[in-house]
Structure 1
Amino acid sequence: MNIGFIGTGNMGKILIEAIIESHSLAPSAIFMTNRTIAKAAAINKIYPETNVMDNASEVIKHSDIIFICVKPLDIHPLLLNVRHLLRRDKCLISITSPVQVEQLESIVNCQVARVIPSITNRAFAGVSLFTFGNSCSNEMQQKIEKLFEGISTPVEIENEITRVASDIVSCGPAFFSYLLQRFVNGAVKETEISQEKAVQLASEMIIGMGKLLETELYTLPTLQEKVCVKGGVTGKGIKVLEEELGPVFENLIKSTHRKYDEDIEEVRRQFEK
């Protein structure tokens, strides 16, 4: 099975690296291209057995499964140019949330799926979100899931929860790394701890917390209960968080959904021309 990547920006590169280093696929089975071909060549320099192609058409010709890793508004014009190459035995996978599988199926005759990855997949961890088109056979679904099982926990989702699921899985690492950095900055500003030491302690804390949750010894609420002794230091800190955070996460979700709705509308206009 050969896998193609049209677009080797941040997420395309992360997927290629994770798939190769998890031994989910041999490097020689990867065919890739990018608008700026130097980006694909840079990956090839690290993994010389991979194949850099001149354009999207060449990637499709050599691949059984093709990942489209470009911006949402670049997908429609790209597919119009290459759809004659997308035979029924091939599978096209979009990794962007505003483009629905039904929209892809409206202009290509091949099998279609959407997989929304996360940067955590680079460490063979976290979740990848799956939505399969009606065109996608059971056999192809199993192949895609097996590919991602080596780098993530695949979870199938409905269109209705695409944005919020992406907020948690794909955007979540950025949101919580920002909060963790603010936590570190506050500690450095208000005490004698160095930036380096605070970052080390915070990083090890978040890794340990993840491992605790992974063991299922604690849930998020019970973990808080175990640490937060009534009337103690942690309780005082939680009270500040309750007072200061307010509806910040509700507002965050509202904001991402507003942007998502704008993106969906722009994509809809393209596909309905």
Structure 2
Amino acid sequence: MKVGVIGTGNMGTIIIEALITGGAVSPSDLIVTNRTKSKADRLKHIFKEITVAGSPDEVIKQSEIIFICVKPLDIISLSKEKASLFTKEKCVISITSPIQVPWLEQLVDASCMRIIPSITNRALAGVSLFTFGKRCEEHWKEMLWEMFSKVSVPLEIDESIIRVSSDIVSCGPAFISFLTRSMITAAEKETKIDETTATMLAENMLIGLGELLKQKHFTFPTLQEKVCVKGGITGEGIAVLEQERGEMFEKLFRATHKKFADEAFHINKKFNS
């Protein structure tokens, strides 16, 4: 089964590396292409058996499964221009939230689905979000679900909550990284700790926190309860966080949803043009 990837930017590369590392796809079964060929060639230097194609046409023709990992507006253009190549026996996959699966189904005859990955999939962890098209054949659903089960926890998600789910799963690691870096910077500024030591402590704290949750020793509420002793130092810190947090996360979701709505509007205009 040949798997094609059009676009080897950040997320395209993460998908390729995760699928190979997780044993879901053999490098010899992967055909990739990128507008800047050197980016695709870098993957071949690492995984020698990958085939680097010279164009999207080659990838689509030679593959049964095709991941489209380009910018949302470019997905519409590519699907329209190459519609005749996306034949009924193939499966085409978008990895971006603003592209609704029914739009793809109107453009191509292939089975269509959306799979939103997370950078955590590179460590064979985290969640991948699935949305299936109405015409998507069952064997493709089963095959892709099994494939991503080797690198993540696949979850079928309704269109109505796709953006917030993607905020948590796909954007979440960047948000948490930003907050952690802010904590490290403040620690260095306010105390005698150096950045290297603070970073090491923070990294291992996050790894340990993940293991506690993974092994189901605690939930978020019970974990906070166990650490936050009444009248203790942690409680003082929590009090500051509660006071300073305000509507930070509410505003975050409003901002991401506004950007999502703006992108969807422009994509819809291009789709209908």
The question of a shared fold, defined as TM-score above 0.5 by the shorter chain, is answered with yes
Identity of aligned residues (%): 51
Structure 2: gaps of 5 or more residues: none
Aligned to 2:179: 179
Root-mean-square deviation (CA, aligned residues, Å) is 0.6
Distance of 2:82 and 2:255 partners within structure 1: 35
Aligned to 2:33: 33
Letter in 1 for 2:234: T
Task: Return the offset for 1:57.
Answer: 0.7
Task: Return the offset for 1:86.
Answer: 1.0
Aligned to 2:212: 212
Aligned to 1:124: 124
Aligned to 1:157: 157
Letter in 1 for 2:182: R
Aligned to 1:222: 222
Letter in 2 for 1:201: L
Aligned to 1:192: 192
Aligned to 2:238: 238
Distance of 1:24 and 1:135 partners within structure 2: 24
Aligned to 1:88: 88
Distance of 2:184 and 2:38 partners within structure 1: 37
Aligned to 1:13: 13
Aligned to 1:247: 247
Aligned to 2:76: 76
Task: Return the offset for 1:80.
Answer: 1.5
Secondary structure, counterpart of 2:107 in structure 1: coil
Secondary structure, counterpart of 2:98 in structure 1: coil
Distance of 2:23 and 2:260 partners within structure 1: 34
Deviations 1:207-264 (A, max 9, x none): 0001000111211000000000011000000000000011100000000000000001
Deviations 1:140-180 (A, max 9, x none): 10100111011100000011001000000000000000000
Distance of 1:115 and 1:163 partners within structure 2: 13
Aligned to 2:47: 47
Aligned to 1:167: 167
Deviations 1:91-126 (A, max 9, x none): 000001100000000110110000000000000000
Secondary structure, counterpart of 2:70 in structure 1: coil
Aligned to 2:23: 23
Task: Return the offset for 1:197.
Answer: 0.5
Secondary structure, counterpart of 2:82 in structure 1: helix
Deviations 1:53-108 (A, max 9, x none): 01001001111110000000111111122111111110000001100000000110
Distance of 2:154 and 2:23 partners within structure 1: 17
Task: Return the offset for 1:2.
Answer: 1.0
Worse-superposed segment, 232-241 or 132-141: 132-141
Letter in 2 for 1:107: L
Deviations 1:158-205 (A, max 9, x none): 110010000000000000000000111111111111110100000000
Distance of 1:94 and 1:256 partners within structure 2: 19
Secondary structure, counterpart of 2:155 in structure 1: strand
Distance of 2:146 and 2:2 partners within structure 1: 14
Deviations 1:1-35 (A, max 9, x none): 11100000000011111111111111000000001
TM-score (norm 1): 0.99
